[in-house]
Amino acid sequence: MLNIQEEVSLKDFTTFKIGGRTKYFIKASNDNEIKGAVKWTKEKKLPFFILGGGSNILFSDSDYNGVIIKIENRELNFKGNEVIAGAGIVFLKLILFCKEKSLSGLEWGAGIPGTVGGAIFGNAGAFGGEVKNNIKEVLAVDKETLEEKRFSSKDCKFSYRNSIFKKTKKYIISSGIFSLEKKEKGEIGRVIREHILYRKEHHPLGQPSAGSIFKNIKTKDIENSLLERFFEFKEKAEVPAAYIIDKAGLKGKRVGGAKISEKHTNFIVNYDNAKAKDIISLINFIKGEVKKKFDIELKEEVIIIK
């Protein structure tokens, strides 16, 4: 039986700690509950949104007149070099589970907030690694037919911070099967600790944020004359959005309760009870300044739900 809650505050379910209330809120722990929740919303003729860990989301200040379905499938098992992880598992928990089983390949994700489902949805990546490098299969539910589908890594059509799930919005990720390699547990743990320490030193972890706001820019998309100014990245595949924002002189810029982090300029932090409108205004300001100064169009990585 579905556990349907009413008038739930969304700020409690996002890392930004921002958002109005949703008319209905349903937690779904397995495929049957996911199907039941979608079927119920269709019967009510209401829009719905699939929520994971809320780490890459900005909800509107206004109330959401629909249904939030929070995926909480927390299955976690392994066989040989493969791990099956439910979409609702916190990504760091998956990484630590793999370490205990001496399975390597996901250490790059240590410290990334959010869930397995969200990581697959957006092809999360860091330190040169990406979800696509270790995905063998993804299990998902078709939103229209409610059929269960299996996607190979190729079927997922992964690209930079993107996938078929993000492009089409047709499927609800239920779980993922990761293919990993055996490695000494101590070495895996050392890399995990290094990545977590790096994040503590370079990211504003003490303040609510949604992680990186903008996608990095491919070097091939930048004019050669401008690359001379960005000489540190001239021979690399991409230029970090944080570097570009910093070069635009925007560090510490504030709008209302929102601020561009001094620690990492691709983070906007909710430092003083920010509203969604503050975040959006600051996003638009950054895009405008970067376009004006460098003729570069930044694209949001964060998903804005209005």
Q: Which residues are catalytic?
A: 161, 212, 301
The 8-class DSSP code of residue 226 comes to: H
Separation of alpha carbons 268 and 217, rounded Å? 18
Laid out side by side, the sheet with 4-9 consists of 4-9, 21-28, 64-71, 48-51
Separation of alpha carbons 250 and 254, rounded Å? 9
**CA–centroid distance for 138 within its chain:** 17
The 8-class DSSP code of residue 102 comes to: T
**CA–centroid distance for 86 within its chain:** 16
Separation of alpha carbons 156 and 276, rounded Å? 31
At residue 126, the 3 state secondary structure works out as: strand
**CA–centroid distance for 195 within its chain:** 17
- Find out whether 27 and 37 touch, Cβ atoms under 8 Å: no
- Find out whether 243 and 301 touch, Cβ atoms under 8 Å: no
Q: Name the token pair of 176.
A: 């993922």
